[in-house]
Structure 1
Amino acid sequence: MTLSAHDKELVTETWTKIAPKAAQIGGEALGRLIVVFPQTKTYFSHFADLSVSSPQIKAHGAKVLGAIGQAVSNIDNVSVSLSKLSELHAYNLRVDPVNFKLLAHTLLVTLSAYLGAEFTPEVHLAWDKFLALIATVLSEKYR
């Protein structure tokens, strides 16, 4: 999915509002993923606690949002920016690529909850396209 200049501007602008709460938002989005899509628990079987309030879930969610922040910082070259992460998930962790789309969905829901009225349909569309791009990039090494 191609991001227009306006999409990139909206994502970057919104990220400045999200960044201070990135760890919290990431933890909540990952917690939602595990609750709403329980099949994703298999990737976190090494965690002692899979509850939404788990410190391990929160910490991993913070890592996820850190990677998204990296992608925002390199929005014109997301593929190169997330290449090593794509390799890790494909070759070492062997995560089914459909899970990237599921996480994108729970992240959109979480962003909507945090941003409220600022999460306009236009911002929603820009983030949906951006997260679809990230999911595609993370799936590149599977081909």
Structure 2
Amino acid sequence: MLTPEDKKLIQQVWEKILSHLDDCGREALERMFCVYPQTKTYFPHFDLHPGSDQVRSHGKKVAAALSNAVKNVDNLSQALSELSNLHAYNLRVDPVNFKLLSQCFQVVLAAHLGKDYTPEVHAAFDKFLSAVAAVLAEKYR
């Protein structure tokens, strides 16, 4: 469970990366496709080369969904319900992929934030992104 301090850290970090949030989403996807190539199977119609229009566009969607989650951190289930339905019932994405993308997003955050990505920030984002992944996977049960 996210503590008030975790939520504060998440909000502070989010403000720092807002100006390049879309790049973070794109970079996280590119990293996921590189490190976990099995995730490419859900994007057969995409040009998955780094910097492609499709990866950039989907990175923006990932970033927007995470922004929505940050804004609604106290009610993630409701905030992500539509996205959860889409992934579970229409796209049928393996829920493990949410965890993989979360890990990649954390690496991107660390790269962008440098020394500002403290152990406390890492722990807060780990809990937050785990909660997001759990909500996205809850319709699979």
Q: Give the TM-score taking structure 2 as reference length.
A: 0.98
Cα deviation, residue 45, structure 1: 0.5
Letter in 2 for 1:74: N
State the AA in 2 paired with 1:130. F
1:72 is aligned with what amino acid? V
* SS of the residue 2:73 aligns to: coil
Per-residue deviation, 1:20: 1.2
Deviation track 1:116-141 (CA, whole Å, cap 9, x = no partner) reads 00000000000010000000000010
| Residues 44-84 of structure 1: CA deviation (Å, up to 9, x unaligned) | 1111x111221110110111010000000011101100000
**Does residue 14 of structure 1 match 2:13?**
yes
Residue 31 of structure 2 corresponds to residue 32 of structure 1: yes
> Aligned to 2:136, which of 125, 135, 138?
138
Distance in 2, matches of 1:18 and 1:62, equals 13
Q: Which runs of 5+ in 1 are unaligned?
A: none
| Alignment pair present for 1:102 and 2:100 | yes
* Aligned match of 1:86: 84
Aligned pairs for 1:64-83 (under 5 A) are 64-83=62-81
SS of 1:96's partner is: coil
C-alpha deviations, 1:81-104, integer Å up to 9, x for none? Answer: 000000000000000000000000
Q: Percent identity?
A: 56
RMSD, matched Cα? 0.6
- What SS is found at the alignment partner of 1:77? helix
| Aligned residue identity for 1:117 | K
How many residue pairs end up in the alignment? 141
Contact persistence 1:32–1:52 (CA under 8 A): no
Whole-Å separation in 1 of the counterparts to 2:111 and 2:102: 14
Q: How far apart in 1 are the matches of 2:42 and 2:83?
A: 15
